[in-house]
Amino acid sequence: MICGSLAYDTVMVFDGRFKEHILPERIHTLSVSFLVPQLRRNYGGCAGNIAFNLKLLGLDSHVLATVGEDFDPYETWMRRHGLSLQYVTRIPGAFTAQAFITTDLDDNQITAFHPGAMQRAGELEVPTDAGVTLGLVGPDSRDAMLRHAEQFAAAGIPFIFDVGQGLPLFQGSELRRFIEQASWTIVNDYEAGVVEERTGLDAAAIAARGRAYIVTRGAQGSDVHAGGRTIRIPAVAAERVVDPTGAGDAYRAGIIYGLTHGLDWESTGRVASLLGSIKVAHHGTQSHGAAAADFGERFRDAFGYAL
């Protein structure tokens, strides 16, 4: 059960540089307009991305999320790819969450995010009587993340805490509560610094409060702190670096795959690393399906052994 967002990502490319059009001395009266001849609308949101990647690995999952009246195209996409809509709830009069991202030639970004229906996600209940064996609490509305973590914990369902873009919403005491409720905590290296500072817990202390503490480090690989040791997971070089957005969600799907198949952390981390690498080589967060079709062969080529 993946608790988090379903969202549209509208990505635009400005064929210039922001710095050439923004005057530092006039920043207090900023009024600029950029011509963006390139535009893509992607299906995204952390929950949708993770569910999509799990399907590529042969795992079915449910998404627990709220969406708006404009969800029809995304719904068609999910049905086409065999993704469950059983626990996706439409909110009348609302838009589906969406990000509007403008990138310049230096890869600087200006982003506006409209949460829309996601603001009502806290009204949803985790279906604790539906045979759910593993959960994930990902970036969502503040209320939703707090409530869904409590519901998983109360039902005795092990879950992953993935704070992501929700990090600014929580104080140290709340982050500690998440960590203590969760079986696994996963963050990127920047988030790790903030979480450890706000909670006063180092990596070993966070790991000791669950089964593992996982820190991703982009091209430098990732670290799994578990069982009193730190396991270094190597990165897999992407065939080409096209779009890193969504690589973290692909990595999380790989972690879930390893957990559900009883793999050791060395192999679990490598599955996650490889899936993230495949995603980086493609635009959008759910467009790499064909590339993952030969995942087993790619894994053997990358690591020298079969899953």
CA distance 229 to 207: 9
Closest residue by Cα to residue 96 from 145, 53, 41: 41
User: Does the CA dihedral 38-81-63-165 come out positive or negative?
Assistant: negative
Is 70 among the catalytic positions?
Answer: no
Closest residue by Cα to residue 217 from 195, 242, 186: 186
Q: Which residues contact 280 (CB under 8 A, 6 or more apart)?
A: 238, 241, 242, 243, 244, 247
Kindly name the residue from 249, 264, 294, 301 that is annotated as catalytic.
Answer: 249
Write b or e for each residue in 165-190: b if 16 or more Cβ atoms lie within 10 A of its Cβ, otherwise e: ebbebbeeebbbbbbebbbbbbbbee
Annotated catalytic residues are: 249
